[in-house]
Structure 1
Amino acid sequence: MTNTNQLQSVLFFDGQGTFIDCGSNIDLRETSFTIEFWAKRNTVNQTDLVVEQGSITGGHELHVGFRNNNMFTLAFFGDDLNTTDRYTDGNWHHWSCLYDRDRQHQGIVYDGNLIATRDSGIYQGSGNFYIGSRQGTQDFFDGVITELRLWNDIRTASEIQSNMNERLTGKEKGLIAYWPLDEGEGNLAKDRAKNGHNGTIASPTWKQMEVPIQPASHKESLGTGLQDYAYWYRWKQSLPQSSDSESFRRGRIWS
């Protein structure tokens, strides 16, 4: 697959008031999930949230994005996985945030490579699902977010890498919601998984920009148990000695 950038419509988040409210019907409580997206920051040294849901109470607020020290976080409020590295460049990067409910484990994948894991508690939050801000009032993202996908399981390396550079069809197995954010006009962020999780955009600004994403190839991503096991094993082996020694397992492979 070629990774040549293509000129496409993108939604610009201005860091002041642009965000998306996707309603309160996305339920991630006590379940495994993967959140993946492409992001391009315009500023540094400020909190830029990509995704947020729940109340600001321990274990009840999911928030994903950049802290004001430029570390990336997958957080449940007081139960957080932060990267060691700080990210200050203004380039496109692909992020995947994984949560394994059965093993109570969090993981962050950066441009297809695992960079952080830890044991965690159980996410118990609920409420409106926001893109680009905390509850529509603060920590607004400044930059561009595109191709945001929410899955009901833990994605493997082969699955992430097989289609991170191309649009989905929306029919892929396991999609809870899928927001390409490429409409080019209006204030509706369409859920192309057609599960009813359309979002309302506040203060939208649409632009044309080169993005590292190709049109959908109309193929389904399939994995095998051996591939999945090899992926999680490589994850474990690649971690620094100080990192958590547990590895992810994909429940459906061993069930």
Structure 2
Amino acid sequence: DWHVPEDEVYAQTTGRDRLELLRKSTYSTSEVLHNKALRFDGVDDYVDCGNDSSLDITGDLTIEILMKADTDTPTAGGVVKGTVGVWASNSYGLRNSNNNLRFFISNGSATEFVNIPVPKGEMCHIAGITSRADGKLYGYLNCEKVVEGNRTIQSINVTTNPLNIGRPFLGGASLKGEIYEVRIWNKALTEEELLQYKDRKLTGNETGLVAYYKFDEGTGTTAYDSAGNNHGTIYGAVWVVAGITLYNLARNILTDAGLTEEEYYIDPELKDFPVPYAWFDSQSHREALRKVAEACLGQVYCDRNGIIRIEGPSFLQSQTEPVATITQDDYFRKDNPVKWSEIANYVEVETQPLRPDVVEEVYRSNNPVSIEAGQTKTITAYYNHTPCIEAQASLENAVSGAEITKTTYYAWGANITVSSSNTGTFELVINAKPLKVLNKEKAIAQDEGSILDNGTLKYTFPANPLVQTREVAQKIADTLLAYFKNPRRDVEVEWRGNPALLLGDKVAVVDKDEENEYFVTRQELEYTGALRARMSGRRA
């Protein structure tokens, strides 16, 4: 429950300030949020990134790759400086070895390496790190060190062969799967830096970052290096939309609100809830976070230390013992109200699959635009339908010498700069793919025995734009049916209160007949000569 405490309600000032910030500040996304990736066919796809001297790393080194290998991939592929099948003839890399990624360095005649396991069928972050000073090679899987080995090589071999992504060597089979990001550093990242950088987009200006492939172009045959000029040419691999997760969205919302990593916590379980496409129109950060939490039946709250926490649906189940017991001596009033409006034996959840439609004209100048010889003019265009992706601007009926010199596309529109060497007019036209809710599906959970005895008591989950897949919708329907079966599942207690209780804490409530356990869903405390609390709980 989002409750911004008033003066008479207990809360730490820092937590109250952060809740107020989220409630009052505005959040929107200028772009559609989704991950693009390069998909490799497992045969001969690869990216050639050239052999610029910035890639001639001889001392400390870090290689990171964010990838997903298909369950039937014949190889883990590679990120290798060098294309020769003989290991020692290359410089360094993460290269396939029995479906591991072997992090290796070479001095031209010998290699030293560690093998890092590659899980199949799931997105994973793999990093190889070596420091000449400490004489070690380390292998990390999802930022946890899984292997280490000794390093005696003082200077890594320099080869004129290019950096390849996706295949282990010239003629070697490529990865069958997707690559989302690749980063190469001429420094040994610390574990703290590895964690800090793992789930965020970098600027490209970070110290020691020499190559950074975001693979977010989505079109064309070039993979751009956001840290330098080591742009790659794509051979065979194709662009795909990989989607993001509720975890990514929550992090984006919280950081946009100005909170630092020390001021919030996001449950890793949110990574299990994919969102193919996400877009937020103008709304409060609080409302955006509410939609994220609702889309997984999670919860958002401020803990006793003032930390904003967003928890996944399994957080409550992880608690085995009550943190407090409330007896008849502690409370003044206790009630288990029957909430007939929240009883259901038939739950329906409808997906809201946001998908790109066919290309259409989303903007055209109302009137011809005048331009003088030598003039440069920037036009802000607002699409007829939002959001849109893959926009492309063009000029029609344009004076000779007029051309588009700069484009910046957003989900809602674009800034288009036009220059002309002659005086005249032009019409600006933008074609794009609107994102629309297409092919909805319904996930249903029902208690057939209850329906037979009582008739159908239907509950329809409110439409949530982040519930886009049938699998997620079914999870929600099944969980809600379990909630809604019991008409007396909630408790309301007025009692002496405990300021240390958090939302989601499990408590035991005892009366003369029985003892039941509940999760705290709301608590308000006030002090009027003595502490008093009003608490609501959900049956555990």
TM-score category by the smaller chain? Answer: 0.7 to 0.9
**Is residue 85 of structure 2 the alignment partner of residue 58 of structure 1?**
no
Residue of structure 1 in register with 2:102 after alignment: 73
- What is the distance in 2 between the residues matched to 1:203 and 1:46? 17
Residue of structure 2 in register with 1:208 after alignment: 241
**Is residue 54 of structure 2 the alignment partner of residue 21 of structure 1?**
no
Give the AA of the match of 2:136.
H
Alignment of 1:1-255 (within 5 A): 7-25=34-52, 26-44=54-72, 46-54=74-82, 55=84, 56-58=86-88, 60-68=90-98, 70-76=99-105, 78-83=111-116, 86-120=117-151, 121=153, 122-126=155-159, 127-193=161-227, 195-211=228-244
Residue of structure 2 in register with 1:250 after alignment: none
- What is the distance in 1 between the residues matched to 2:126 and 2:50? 23
Query: Which string of whole-angstrom CA distances, capped at 9 and with x for unpartnered residues, describes residues 148-189 of structure 1?
Result: 111110111221111211211212222101100111000000
- What is the distance in 1 between the residues matched to 2:219 and 2:77? 23
* TM-score w.r.t. length of structure 1: 0.73
Query: Which string of whole-angstrom CA distances, capped at 9 and with x for unpartnered residues, describes residues 61-91 of structure 1?
Result: 42314422x33311236422124xx544310
Residue of structure 1 in register with 2:416 after alignment: none
> Which shows bigger deviation, 71-80 or 7-16?
71-80
SS across alignment from 1:185 = coil
Q: Counting strand residues as a fraction of each chain, which structure ranks higher?
A: 2
Q: Counting helix residues as a fraction of each chain, which structure ranks higher?
A: 2
Q: Cα distance 1:182–1:150, how it changes in 2: closer, same or farther (>3 A)?
A: same
Contact 2:96 2:168 in 1 (8 A): no
Contact 2:76 2:118 in 1 (8 A): no
- What is the distance in 2 between the residues matched to 1:182 and 1:80? 31
- What is the distance in 2 between the residues matched to 1:184 and 1:59? 34
SS across alignment from 2:207 = coil
> Which shows bigger deviation, 48-57 or 166-175?
48-57
Query: Which string of whole-angstrom CA distances, capped at 9 and with x for unpartnered residues, describes residues 123-147 of structure 1?
Result: 3142211001134421311111112
Contact 1:53 1:135 in 2 (8 A): no
Give the AA of the match of 1:67.
S
- What is the distance in 2 between the residues matched to 1:66 and 1:190? 24
Shift of 1:211: 4.1
- What is the distance in 2 between the residues matched to 1:19 and 1:188? 12
SS across alignment from 1:158 = helix
Give the AA of the match of 2:67.
A
Contact 2:47 2:165 in 1 (8 A): yes
Q: Cα distance 1:153–1:76, how it changes in 2: closer, same or farther (>3 A)?
A: closer
What is the RMSD of the two structures over their aligned residues, measured on CA atoms?
Answer: 2.7
SS across alignment from 1:107 = strand
> Which shows bigger deviation, 87-96 or 23-32?
23-32
- What is the distance in 2 between the residues matched to 1:196 and 1:24? 10
Shift of 1:48: 2.1
Structure 1, unmatched stretches of 5+, are: 1-5, 222-255
* Structure with larger Rg: 2
Q: Cα distance 1:33–1:211, how it changes in 2: closer, same or farther (>3 A)?
A: farther
SS across alignment from 1:48 = coil
Contact 1:50 1:145 in 2 (8 A): no
Contact 2:75 2:96 in 1 (8 A): yes
Structure 2, unmatched stretches of 5+, are: 1-32, 261-540
Aligned residues: 211
Q: Cα distance 1:45–1:192, how it changes in 2: closer, same or farther (>3 A)?
A: closer
Give the AA of the match of 2:93.
H
* Percent of residue pairs bearing the same amino acid type: 24
- What is the distance in 2 between the residues matched to 1:89 and 1:130? 22
- What is the distance in 1 between the residues matched to 2:207 and 2:124? 24
Q: Cα distance 1:118–1:136, how it changes in 2: closer, same or farther (>3 A)?
A: same
SS across alignment from 2:242 = strand
